[in-house]
Amino acid sequence: MTKPTLRHLLEETDAFVTVTEVVPARGLAPDALSRRSLEAARALVDDPRIAAISITDNAGGHVMSNPVVLAEELLGRGQDVIVHVACRDRSRNGLLSLAWELERRGVRNVLAVSGDHPVEGFRGLSEPVFDVDSVGLVALCHGLVNEPGPDGDGTAPGLYIGAAVSPFKRLEAEAILQYLKLGLKIRAGADYIIPQLGYDARKWDELLRWMRLHDLRRPVLANVYVLTRTVARLFNANRIPGCVVSDELLATVERAAAGPDRGRAFFLELAAKQVAIARGMGFRGAYLAGHLPAVDVDRVLALADGFAPDWPDLAREVQHSPKGTFFAYRRDPATGLGTDELDPRYARSITPAARAGARRRASPWYRFNRLAHDHVFAPGSAGFRAAGRAYERVERWHLDRPLHVLEQALKIPLYDCRDCGDCSLPDVAYLCPESQCPKGERNGPCGGSHDGTCEVLPRRCVWVRAYERLKPYGEELTVLDRPPVIVDNALRRTSAWANTFRGRDHFSRETPS
């Protein structure tokens, strides 16, 4: 029998749903891990507690088989699925073709992610694509909802779009930007949310609290990964971007793994406690991951039912963030979770006096950029109108090429400009996302940064730097209050100044969301 769809369960019932994750096979002859994963997926089809099986898309940057193959098999058995779609390996046209294919094959649920940077490839490292980011992918998938059906009657069902958020960040800039990007994803069309991996109930509480206080009303599935000692070590060493295991939790894992069962009972109980906490907190479901056989899924869910009455005590117990982790909200001593009041340290940092002091320390170069933008590049300013008239004459007289050369002579040494022609310097506090972000993220940071450092290159995340520039001016919370930026590649190697003043770049295409 066909199970109820994930969309139905999340949108039309108050059921607490369970989703499990599987990894597709690798190569023509699947390895043992892939075979176990596939066997588990097939065994879970008959479990009425499993609302959907989620299928990854080259997770960790490793090449696996197309998730659509497994999705079709499971759909044929009556099991709803979530297919991950990553921007890493496809252009926007490839993503659109894939979205159409998923709908034609009966897949209705997707999880839109930017994707981890590739770590392998045929005869060397594969070149990533990242033509759009996760926000652009959400917008692309959401656009299918309103497309005409096969008879032109506007009845296309559309995709049920999931989006990720990474609340388990140690630094303020990383955490707040993740929440702001979540808001942008929801405005772009995200239907449900799955957070990244971490082991702190207070961070879960903060995510739900932020969403409630900022009217981001979407169902959220708590991400529960059943650890092993090997995986815990990888998470702790930041070998899997965005997945966090603190030193304290790793020490506990090492002690448990030294036991006769290699920690299996501890790992299953920890996951079950998280499921019970998630249900008690108000998450709409649990997303179980970790290459689990059906027997372990059953054990986790059974234990979670037993733990359910004690979830408040468990929430105080399962709080394993790294030392010095930022929290936006004041801790409630009674519950160990948050309150609706801002954390005192954070609140002090955003007072007018604190911002004024920080502004005095802002770099002269950044101040100059702000001044130049306000007087020349801001639409509606006198300088913008004058430049528009000037560039109209320049193009009429065919002098645009010499001016483009002059523009690049200035912007390459000053900004490491890559001549994209659709400039986002004003979007990212006058830092170039094309040259300073390996994924070219223009709609906020990806989830892979660690302590403010890029997951790919050993340098500070460009969006963390942007946040630190914007905060003294009180603009850090509004940096993503705009439509998604999707670059027009037809403008590459043309003058960004001309495209700005002549109304051809993404600023001219922005409309209220």
59-111 pLDDT per residue, tens: 888 898 899 999 999 999 999 999 999 999 999 999 999 999 999 999 999 99
Lowest mean pLDDT among 58-67, 345-354, 421-430, 499-508: 58-67
Q: Are residues 24 and 169 part of one domain?
A: yes
376 and 287 fall within a common domain: no
Give a yes or no: residue 455 inside a domain: yes
| HEC per residue, 41-72 | HHHHCCCCCEEEEEECCCHHHCCCCCHHHHHH
Long-range (24+ apart) CB contacts under 8 A made by 65-68 are 65/24, 65/25, 65/26, 65/27, 66/24, 67/24, 68/101, 68/102, 68/105, 68/107
Answer yes or no: is 125 within a domain.
yes
CA distance 448 to 204: 18
Residues 222 and 125 in one domain: yes
| Structure token pair of residue 440 | 């070219």
C-alpha 89: how far from chain center: 16
The amino acid at 340? D
In a domain, 236, yes or no: no
Same domain, 288 and 421: no
Are 441 and 128 within 8 A, CB to CB? no
Give a yes or no: residue 345 inside a domain: no
CA atoms within 13 A on the CB side of 473: 15
Kindly state whether residues 358 and 221 are assigned to the same domain: no
Give yes or no: residues 288 and 357 share one domain.
Answer: no
The tokens describing 296, both together, are 């372990």
Residue 158: its pLDDT value, please? 82
The CATH code of the domain that includes 16 is 3.20.20.220
Sign of CA dihedral 428, 434, 435, 436: positive
* Domain finish residue from 293, 325, 343: 293
In a domain, 270, yes or no: no
Residue 364 sits in which domain range? 353-509
What SS3 state is found at 19? strand
In three-state secondary structure terms, 100 is helix
| DSSP element (H, E) containing 164 | strand 160-165
Of the three residues 245, 260, 293, the one that is the final residue of a domain is: 293
Q: For residue 176, give the amino acid letter.
A: I
DSSP 420-469: -SS--GGGGTT--HHHH-TT---SS--S--BTTB-SSSSSB-HHHHHHHH
Token digits for 238?
Answer: 């930041």
3-state secondary structure of 76: helix
Q: What is the pLDDT of residue 2?
A: 82
User: How many domains is the chain partitioned into structurally?
Assistant: 2
What does pLDDT average to over the chain? 94
Would you say residue 493 lies in a domain?
yes
Roughly how many angstroms between the first and final C-alpha of the chain, as a whole number?
Answer: 41
Sheet with 192-195, side-by-side order of all strands: 192-195, 160-165, 109-113, 81-86, 50-55, 17-22, 285-289, 221-225
Task: Check whether residue 44 and residue 179 sit in a common domain.
Answer: yes
Same domain, 16 and 122: yes
| Of residues 146 and 206, more confidently modeled | 206
Helix (H, G, I), strand (E, B) or coil at 265: helix
The secondary structure of residue 146, as a DSSP letter, is: G
Please report, for residues 42, 85, 219, 223, 330, the alpha-carbon distance to residue 161 in angstroms, rounded to integers and kept in the order given.
24, 10, 11, 17, 32
Has residue 112 been placed in a domain? yes
Q: Last residue of some domain: 241, 269, 293? A: 293
In a shared domain, residues 78 and 223 = yes
Question: Are residues 357 and 220 part of one domain?
Answer: no
Check whether residue 288 and residue 412 sit in a common domain: no
Beta strands 338-342 and 329-331 are antiparallel
Per-residue pLDDT tens for 105-163? Answer: 999 999 999 999 999 999 999 999 999 999 999 999 998 865 555 555 555 568 999 99
- Residue 512 has a pLDDT of 43
| pTM of the shown model | 0.94
**What distance in Å separates the CA atoms of residue 5 and residue 245, rounded to the nearest whole number?**
33
The residue-averaged pLDDT of 196-204 equals 97
Regarding whether 372 and 289 lie in a shared domain, the answer is no
